[in-house]
Structure 1
Amino acid sequence: MASIPYYILAVLVLIIVVKIFSWPIRVLIKLLLNGFLGYILLLLLNFLGKSIGIYVPVNAISSLIAGFFGVPGVIFLIIFNKFL
């Protein structure tokens, strides 16, 4: 009886995996590229921005925002950190 939640969880994970693999490859490549560019931009911003006073602390939340939203996410982090 205790294994029923595991079966439900396995079915949900299987549904998510099937949905992801049913996306066109072009969309997946775009998401991966956007996340990679956001991560690289966040690292470059912290490395080069220290001299001009722009620094975004790298933590789990800022990494997720930069990775998920890419360049617009990093711009949001700069504005959020500078003005708030």
Structure 2
Amino acid sequence: MDIWIIGGIIVLIVLLLVKGIPINFTKLIGQSAIKVTIGVLFLFFFNLFGASFGLHIPINIFTTVVVGILGIPGIASLTAIHLFIV
């Protein structure tokens, strides 16, 4: 079983070396990683400063993606959901 996994990884590496990595795919992955990182930082600082007002938004994959994509309006919408719905 392990030999098949190792063989598959070697074939994938050789294929990528011969054909090359698609630029659009790597650009999309890089931009998504940057947006998720920015979302985590926004949520961290919001929780840091919002603690004095009794506000807390949990840092999970859903809230991180929402804040990463929407930015400050994402934090505002999650705060409104927290205050009025939860």
Tell me which residue corresponds to 2:22. Answer: 22
Distance 1:26 1:54 in 2: 35
Tell me which residue corresponds to 1:37. Answer: 38
Looking at CA atoms only, which structure, 1 or 2, has the larger radius of gyration? 2
Alignment of structure 1 residues 1-84 onto 2, 5 Å: 21-22=21-22, 24=24, 25-58=26-59, 62=60, 64-65=61-62, 66=64, 68-69=65-66, 70=68, 72=70, 75=75, 78-79=78-79, 81-82=81-82, 83-84=85-86
Distance 1:23 1:80 in 2: 39
TM-score (norm 1): 0.52
- Measure how far apart 1:76 and its partner are: 7.2
- Structure 2 unpaired stretches of 5+: 1-8, 10-20
- Structure 1 unpaired stretches of 5+: 1-9, 11-20
What amino acid is the match of 1:72?
A: L
Percent identical across equivalent pairs? 17
CA deviation vs aligned residue, 1:26-82 (integer Å, no higher than 9, x gap): 322211110000011111111111112211134xxx2x120x341538527724652
How many residues are treated as equivalent by the alignment?
A: 75
Of structures 1 and 2, the one with the larger relative CO (CA 8 A, separation 6+) is: 1
Contact between 1:46 and 1:56, CA under 8 Å: does it hold in 2?
yes
Distance 1:71 1:48 in 2: 21
